Amino acid sequence: MYLRKKKNKDLIPISIPYLEGNEERYLRDCVRTGWVSSVGPFVDRFEKGVMEYSGSKYALAVSSGTTALHTALVVLGIKAGEEIIVPTVTFIATANAVRYVGAHPIFMDCDDYLNIDVNKVKEFCEKRCFFNGKNLINKDTKRKVRAIIPVHILGNPADMDGLMKLAAKYHLFIVEDAAQSIGSYYTKGRYAKRHTGTIGHIGCYSFNGNKIITTGGGGMIVTNKKTWWDRARYLVNQAKEKGTAYVHNEIGYNYRMTNLSAAVGLAQLEKLDNFIQIKRKNFLYYKNKLKNLEGIKLFCEPSYARSNQWGYALALNSNSNISRDGMIGVLKNNGIEARALWKPNHLQKPYVGEQYYKIDNAIKYYERGIFLPCSVGIKRCEIDSIVSVIGRALGVK
């Protein structure tokens, strides 16, 4: 009923919300009871729901994935002039959060899953930095490297095992940008059964409209450490001291989630397992149909994890007879929305001049990579037509 209606001239969208559950009922409840703002029963229920679902000890609802990341860095005490290792392949919010606290990003290359290349991170720490027994110091800049922000791209879990080992060795914090990956978890290794977002020191989810579940706009901070959760809760509420008086001893933020948003979020969370099941089935369907096409690579889940399969993306081979933009144009002319992958952040205007280390894979995939429609509500016949358009564009009969 409440699907954003697709008109004939509309393209098959990349990702739109699916709002067929209790969203309307819960929203009505907010209006009827007057609980529309940043306190209310749905905020509590949504936090508890995400906490239980993810298996983290504490959860805090906030206004966006971006504000979740910013708050996490403040909570961990990252200061201006310090450095944070981030992937160059990610939505720009990851890097922006680093700059909000005045720290500097060090951009890293991606592996063949588009996730941060842990071997290159390790090499960077070993060759370009030294450990003084307390901190990791960047030899070039003499600044402290304080943290790594891995991003689980498309919902496919990054190699947390490798990253956590580095973090322990060099006293680094890990803030997981799990904006795209709620519901993804590890199936093997040291973190088997653990969800993305709950392994590092703090994890951040996003509920923006294009994510697997949405609150309209919103985010969540998860952690196992109560003092960090307390501190985050204090900061996102304008650093208001306990009690009713307006007493503030620090500069805080208004980063809370409203009860209205949380009402939608709770209804969406009830459907998350169902959404993941659909996303995974649709992905397999795409994969089986695309596997006969030469000239493309589909980004799949790593063997050690079960992905929520939030996003679908492919890369054209370097010898492909059509360019990325050529392919996007053909898809668009056939009523299908497709987009280039995020431009690597070390090439984005605000970040030119920041450090980056041996980036080549990211450029290769940027030049060849395309996001495909992945909404929960996508129909099989739509996937059929997308695949056949791609096949024709590649010159396959």
Interface residues with ligand PLP (CB under 6 A) are: 64-66, 90-91, 93-94, 151, 177, 179-180, 206, 208, 219
C-beta closer to ligand PLP: residue 38 or 66: 66
Q: How far is the CB of 45 from ligand PLP (least distance, A)?
A: 20
Nearer to ligand PLP, 116 or 125 (CB): 116
Amino acid at 392: R
Shortest distance, CB of residue 179 to ligand PLP, whole angstroms? 3
Please state the closest distance from residue 10 (CB atom) to ligand PLP, in A. Answer: 23
What is the smallest separation between the CB atom of 311 and ligand PLP, expressed in angstroms?
Answer: 9
- Output the smallest distance, CB 208 to ligand PLP, in A: 4
Answer yes or no: are the C-beta atoms of 376 and 278 closer than 8 Å. yes
> Could you tell me how far CA 154 lies from the centroid of its own chain?
7
Our CB check for ligand PLP shows the closer of 91 and 286 to be 91
Rounded distance between C-alpha atoms, residue 149 and residue 76, angstroms: 12
SS3 197: coil
Contact 134, 389 (CB under 8 A): no
Residue 271, CA distances (Å) to 153, 203, 276 in order:
22, 21, 9
CB nearer ligand PLP, residue 177 or residue 301: 177
Cα 191 off chain centre by: 19
Identify the bridge partners of residue 108 per DSSP, sorted by sequence position: 87, 357
Report the C-alpha gap between 261 and 351 in whole angstroms: 32
Min dist CB 393 to ligand PLP, Å, is 27
| Alpha-helix residue ranges (DSSP H) falling in 194-258 | 226-236
Across 191-236, the runs of DSSP E, i.e. the strands, are: 202-206, 219-223
Nearer to ligand PLP, 162 or 209 (CB): 209
| CB 258 to ligand PLP: min, Å | 14
Beta-carbon contacts of 268 under 8 Å, excluding residues fewer than 6 positions away, are 17, 19, 21, 23, 207, 213, 214, 215, 275
Q: Which residue is nearest to ligand PLP (CB)?
A: 65
Minimum Å gap between C-beta 342 and ligand PLP is 9
| Whole-number Å distance between alpha carbons of 397 and 51 | 49
Nearer Cβ to ligand PLP, position 90 or 361?
A: 90
| Residue placing its CB nearer to ligand PLP in the complex, 96 or 334 | 96
Beta strand pairing call for 144-148 and 173-177: parallel
CB of 66 or CB of 88, closer to ligand PLP: 66
Which one, 96 or 141, has the nearer CB to ligand PLP? 96
Nearest approach in angstroms of CB 210 to ligand PLP is 7
Element (H, E) at 361: helix 361-368
Give me 231's structure tokens. 């501190």
What number of helices (H) and strands (E) belong to the chain?
Answer: 12, 16
Nearest-approach distance from CB 378 to ligand PLP, in angstroms: 19
* CA torsion through residues 359, 97, 130, 170, sign: negative
Q: Which is nearer to ligand PLP, 91 or 173 (CB)?
A: 91
Residue 318: other Cβ atoms inside 10 A: 9
Q: How many residues does the chain have?
A: 397
C-beta of 14 vs 137, nearer to ligand PLP: 14
Tell me which amino acid residue 343 is. K
Looking at residue 171, its amino acid is: H
CB 151 to ligand PLP: min, Å = 5
- Residue 176 main-chain phi, psi, to 5 deg: -80, 120
